[in-house]
Chain A
Amino acid sequence: MNLVDEWGVTLAVFLPLLGALAITLTPKGMDGIQKILALASTGAALVIGVMVAFAFQHGEPGMQFEKTISWIPSINANYHIGIDGISLPLIVLSLLVTFLCIIYAYWHIPEPGNTKAFLALILLLETGMNGSFIALDLILFFVFWELVLVPMYFLIGIWGGERRQYAAIKFFLYTLFGSLFMLLGFLALYFQSEPNTFDMIELQQAGVLNLPIGLANLIFGGLALGFAVKVPMWPFHTWLPDAHTEAPTIGSVLLAAVLLKMGTYGFMRIAIPILPEPAQVFAPFIAVLAAIAIVYGALCCLAQTNLKRMIAFSSVGHMGFVMLGIAAMTPEGFNAAVFGMVAHGVITGMLFFLAGSIKERYHTYEMPDLAGMGLKIPRMAGLLAFCAIASLGLPGLAGFWGEVMALLSAYRPLEGLNLTVFRSAMVVGAIGTVLTAGYFLWMLQRVNMGRAPEGSKKHKYADVQRLEMLAWAPLLALILVLGLYPRLIMDTTTSSVTRLTETVLGERAQVAQVADR
């Protein structure tokens, strides 16, 4: 157990990287060995992650499993890691989804093949994703954050759909643009802190950072731009539909399930706790953008005929709910956000798996061509219906809690935030839920029901394979379990998010005292 306490988190992050190295060293063509290596390294990382989760002290708000190793002394950056209630669910999600992706990849290496490169890139990607959720040093965080770009660029560009090259470079440029402003923000924080530090925990402590409010707002803006592109918040979302639609199935799953969470996590881990004052200035704007994203995403979904593109746009709306929860800055809001992230990861990840498998059978994502799926492959259609209903937020399934809690938190945001804005956002968001239900049900009607079009009437398609089921079962189970027993997440997060709100309030209390004097 000691090994887990000391190195568990590190191992969970770097085992996939080791796996990637091992895979690159195997000769080309030894697909079997490469798959086993990938499965073993992600599996081992997941097992260690679960052990960490069990060793984790629930109810303890601070950082656990902390570790600091000197890394780049000349620029004062350290390998400082640790996890709390906010990061734990996300890192476990990342470990689990990647592992399932590798299982799925066992029989689904997309065109044009090259198992070795494909698996190695996924493992590299996993290291970047996991690392982002554990880093407590701004430079370390940035390195992990950016580490996901190159593998994702190649995954989309080599194994993607027809417009893959366009989507790949758009994703790359867009995200880089945002994150470089974030980097400037990090550097500004470094030079404004006394003593100069990149350490997130130290930067949160009172007195370390003394900023004039104008500069603080500017820095927050830089950070928010980087995170907002990644989330993506409306109007920075335009890379997402292309990247999601063109990426290979596994790429889409990882993008939706994990990558987008890095942005929202960044708000909760860095932007808000380090710069609580500007966070309160920006919160109403974020709430408005979130509300727009919810409705805009839903309207776009209504306009799609491409199943995968519709699922992609639904992410814009769902992440809008997450951002609404974050903007409220109350424990309920943050809880809703973390829950929403995990739920969206599980549900939308699953939806992308289904879209991929459907495409494999029908060779199209176009909904009119898929009509009548319920008769042809009933089990697949059943799973699609299950996930769609979970995604639209039916009570009892995972999607419900994140949305409803986000709306509730917007009704009563943190004291001092503009009530009118937040309550209007809540109303708009609530309308969005109706639209969400509308497009999902309409999608089910067009895909599952109806009659098969003339062209594919006589085709026979294989229903859900046992091996697909193996990869999907954990996600399907989680959708149900999280829906029935949301405390699974909340018990872990509550203490940490409460502390997050206290940090924000504490800052304001200080400011108020100064004003009194």
Chain B
Amino acid sequence: MDLDLAALLPEIILALTAFSVLTIDLFLPKEKRGIAFVLAVGGVLATLAAVINLYGSNITILDGTFVIDRFAVIFKIVFCVAALMIFCVSQAYLKDDGEVPHGEFFTMMLFALLGMLTIASSRDLIAIFVALEMISMPSFVLAGIRKSDIRSNEAALKFFLFGVLSSALMLFGMSLIYGLTGATNLADISESLAGQTGIEEVSLVAILFLIVGFGFKVSAFPFQWWVPDTYEGAPIPVAAFLSVASKTAGFVGLFQVMFLALGGLADTWRPMFAIIGVVTITFGNLVALQQNQIVRLLAYSSIAQAGYMLLPLGVASATDTDLNTRIVFAVVTYLLVYAFMETGAFASASAFGRRGGGYMVDDYAGMFARSPVLALSMSAFLLSLAGIIPFAGFWAKLVVFQALIAGEGIWLAVAMVVNTVVALFFYAAVVKRMFFDKAEVMTPVKLPRVLAGTIGVAALVIVIGGILPDFFARLAQNSHFF
């Protein structure tokens, strides 16, 4: 047995934290339940330390199923950092809400995070599937955690039904792959496929089913129908969690399966991603244009954002590793930037939703006069999502454009340009409300310190990353996926 426990240390710490939050919460009196937040943050910080400690090492355990490399470590860091920010948003949200049980909430978040850490290291179909389920199950519970709210119930139910269906289909796709190759390890699959001919039809079906599963996770068209209702009905921090962490996990799994196992079949799946990417972006943006509720707007924007990240896969190559490296570099950079701008946007929406604010775009009128710093931060996140200089989101779009041009996907690039302009319209519409319109009341929206700090950190990262983007890019370059 090549079991190196050091490689599993982050997961072990996280699992212990999750269990202890669950247990300790049982024995605490109601007024002390805020302790769950402290425990969870402490646990994730310890996990993060353990992850960072692994940076640079290359460990393979469990017969190649579980791998620690730069790629895995970087994404584990992303998941931990995103989770920390979302925990801070949650704390403010839970305090206001008063109904949601703290202990359960953070336990579920921690378990989902555990699944994310696992998927970053998984190099085996079964491990990937288990990790994805480990993310999904707690997410279903989280979406419906406001038990007495009918919208929250609807959110969970929709999410659950779509989720189970897509899991089943993905599993079917995986079984076909197994049937073709007799292997579940990604590298073995790739090797086995390379020697086979005449498998186009079967592999096409298998790939389609796999795309359904991952498409659901990353909210790609046409598997995105659950997104707006679930985001709207779920507590905002949960929506942020789904939109940032869960989506990133989906992309991580997608990369591993598509490039490491099915890289040789790129000619088969390339056009699928080109089409799905363009349609996803266009659908997300066009529907977002008509939204007047901020969470729904962010939900559709989040769909479109997934499209931008799927598009580079539409120029992937079966043989050209340089090009594939560039594609992975582009999407990883995008994901890194996305984690901060999307979390920031949801955190700001949560802040605006507090007393004195609201969730409708109309409630944002004159926010610049009421809460200038919050309005500025929200504008930074929105314009960054739109890809406007001087925010980090521009660089994310730039590297995607770069990958598309390098792969000679000129029409994909043109489609993306048109969409970027369309998208600016609805992002700017929110900015317009905050800056150009008059407020009816002038009282500022009050923020607890934790929430304000989270928004501030995310905004700072987005602005500094906009001027000196090399940090993100170098991190992405160092991931050495291939």
Contact = CB atoms under 8 A, between A and B. Distances in A.
Nearest to A124: B390
Interface string A148-171: 011001100110000011001100
A116 B205 CA distance: 61
Interface stretch (A179-187, A278-286, A420-428, A440-448): A179-187
Given A147-B389, A150-B383, A150-B388, A165 B421 contact: no
Contact of A74 (B383, B394, B429, B477): B477
A73 B413 CA distance: 23
Contacts of A190: 402, 405
B413 A184 contact: yes
Interface string A125-152: 0000000000000010011001101100
Q: Give the interface residue-count category, chain B.
A: 20 to 34
B390 A143 contact: yes
Contacts of A146: 388-389, 394
B255 interface: no
- Chain B interface, DSSP helix/strand/loop, else mixed: helix
A211 interface: no
A181 B421 contact: no
Nearest to A150: B388
Contacts of B267: none
B401 A154 contact: no
Contacts of B470: 71-74
Given A183-B401, A184-B405, A158 B436 contact: yes
Nearest to B408: A191
A484 interface: no
B399 interface: yes
B424 interface: yes
Contacts of B410: 184
A149 B424 CA distance: 12
- Shortest 4 CB-CB distances between A and B: which pairs? A74-B473, A146-B389, A180-B417, A187-B405
Contacts of B164: none
A509 interface: no
A75 interface: yes
5 contacts: A72-B469, A147-B389, A158-B435, A168-B432, A176-B421
Given A75-B398, A172-B424, A173-B421, A149 B473 contact: no
Interface in A340-356: none
A138 to B, nearest CB: 11
Contacts of A177: 417-418, 421
B442 interface: no
B389 A149 contact: yes
B417 A191 contact: no
A369 B402 CA distance: 54
A188 interface: yes
Contacts of B435: 154, 157-158
Nearest to A146: B389
Interface string B462-482: 000000111001101100000
Contacts of A180: 417, 420-421
The residue in B394, B398, B435 that gathers the most chain A C-beta atoms within 10 A of its C-beta is B398
B432 A183 contact: no
Nearest to A160: B436
B425 interface: yes
Interface in A54-74: 71-74
B406 interface: yes
Given A72-B469, A150-B383, A169 B425 contact: yes
Interface string A65-103: 000000111110000000000000000000000000000
B194 interface: no
B398 A183 contact: yes
Contacts of A139: 398
A486 to B, nearest CB: 36
Nearest to B406: A191
Nearest to B380: A150
B376 to A, nearest CB: 9
The residue in B401, B402, B436 that gathers the most chain A C-beta atoms within 10 A of its C-beta is B436
A180 B469 CA distance: 19
A180 B414 CA distance: 9
